[in-house]
Structure 1
Amino acid sequence: MNTLERPDTFRKVHKALRKTLFDTTYLAGRTDFTIDHELEALKTQVNELVHFLHMHAHKEETYSFPLIEAKCPGASAHDQAEHEKIDQLIADLEHRLATTQASPLAVRPGLGYDFYLALNRFVSVYLMHMDEEETDTTAQTYALCTDEEIQGVTQKIIASMSPADAGLSYRYMIPALHSGERTAFFKEVQATAPPFVLQNLLSVASTTLSAHEFQQLETAVVRRVETRNF
């Protein structure tokens, strides 16, 4: 069966995570590690990436993995082990960046380049991790769980997010979706959530999409909001 025909707890958030990963590696590549304000901007971006990665892993471990574990004990063991390995790699990245920032200017370029290479190695590992979840874990979940159970996990994850974490997720997710996905997501919100939720998401969209993309979205959901000057 085409996986697009069934609910998916990974698709949208993984697109958001890919954007965060690629934005971070792009910024790292153009950072002059001898300029304090550029290094501080990179640190802020890395901290945001790390928070997003930890938040996502926590949601999976709290809601997604228990669902398949209840059906088949041990089913999430591989993904759990991957999370532990990823945590170690994240800690290494944080240590490298902190060391670079605390070092004399003369050695920062070399340390910064080492950090950049380590970051790209991490991204390659994390991309493979997401691919396994999108293929193997998804197939396993479909074999074990009903659509209603999968949708229930998604609803629990959304309900458990703080406003700040939701804002972070949507700031990366909205521009990472293609126009059809984006419109469908907003129409679902429009149909199921209080009006202020749609208003807040449109506000995020107004700052993360191009003027043309935002106008298309706003027209598609038939909702006029004065959140952007065209």
Structure 2
Amino acid sequence: MYQRFDLLAPVHKGLRHALGGLVFQAGSLNVNNDGELRRFAEEFADIVDILESHSRDEDAHVHHLYERFAPETAAKLEAEHETLEAELGELQGLLDKALRAPEERGPTWYILQRKLTRFTTAYFSHLEREEGEAAEALWANLDDAQLKEVSVRIRSSIPPATMMIFLRYMLPALTFNERYDMLSGMKRFAPPEAYQAVRELAERRLRPEDWAELAAALDTVEQGA
């Protein structure tokens, strides 16, 4: 809902960016190049990390709200979580097989690409359910201050290393205003070293012109903490 606090949009943008890029890489990767395959496996592991973190955070901080305000939607989301978790395990198994059995990489990778595309399609549909009927239930029963409290609890529960993986994919996927709100808030309230780490990540991940615009805006913000 426009002009309401959106608990889900920024992280969902990052997850879409991550999975979309992974599908692209899987489709263009030279499976006979061990270096390319290892880099793909490393990125796959990072994306599994944030997918699992997102699922844990929902279970710990949001699912009970869905059960309270939209029990049918909660049941659908829980069933989808179980299916997606199983499919992610299948993908990991195929990737492991490609790494350990070079002679079977061709057919293994063909299956992995197709399953990854189907998984991503299903995952995007799952995100849409969260952003649609689930979010509507939250907006109908909680005000923005309450939703922001949930957001703070979620962010506080994410390990720093996992948060940096989230941000690696989120920052390029956000609008200028979303990036500015995030980093200006960090500059005011986060420890200086945490803000500096995210600022450096943004510089690496954004297009030069996007970074220049953001940096100029952030330089007008007084640092706190």
Q: State if a TM-score over 0.5 links the two structures.
A: yes
1:118 to 111, 115, 120: 115
Distance 1:72 1:110, change over 3 A: closer
Q: d(CA) in 2 for partners of 1:37 and 1:223?
A: 43
Listed one character per residue, the Cα deviations across residues 23-42 of structure 1 (whole Å, up to 9, x for unaligned) are 11111112111222221111
- The answer to whether the 8 A contact 1:68-1:144 is kept is no
Counterpart in the other structure of 2:174: 177
* TM-score computed with the length of structure 1 as normaliser: 0.89
Point out the more displaced range, 12-21 or 166-175: 166-175
Q: CA deviation at 1:101?
A: 2.1
Gaps of 5+ in 1: 225-230
Q: d(CA) in 2 for partners of 1:92 and 1:203?
A: 35
1:129 to 117, 126, 148: 126
In the alignment, residue 146 of structure 1 is paired with which amino acid? D
Residue 189 (1) aligns with residue 186 (2): yes
In the alignment, residue 131 of structure 1 is paired with which amino acid? E
In the alignment, residue 201 of structure 1 is paired with which amino acid? V
Q: CA deviation at 1:185?
A: 2.1
Listed one character per residue, the Cα deviations across residues 131-167 of structure 1 (whole Å, up to 9, x for unaligned) are 1111111001111222222111100011111110111
Counterpart in the other structure of 1:162: 159
- The answer to whether the 8 A contact 1:100-1:111 is kept is yes
Listed one character per residue, the Cα deviations across residues 57-108 of structure 1 (whole Å, up to 9, x for unaligned) are 1001110112343456665222111111110110111111112222242x31
- Identical pairs, percent: 27
In the alignment, residue 174 of structure 2 is paired with which amino acid? L
Counterpart in the other structure of 1:15: 13
Counterpart in the other structure of 1:228: none
Gaps of 5+ in 2: none
- The answer to whether the 8 A contact 1:206-1:214 is kept is yes
- The answer to whether the 8 A contact 2:73-2:133 is kept is no
- The answer to whether the 8 A contact 1:183-1:217 is kept is yes
Counterpart in the other structure of 1:36: 34
Counterpart in the other structure of 2:206: 209
Q: d(CA) in 2 for partners of 1:121 and 1:72?
A: 27
Point out the more displaced range, 162-171 or 195-204: 195-204
* TM-score computed with the length of structure 2 as normaliser: 0.91
Give structure 1 regions of 4+ aligned residues with deviation exceeding 4 angstroms: 70-75
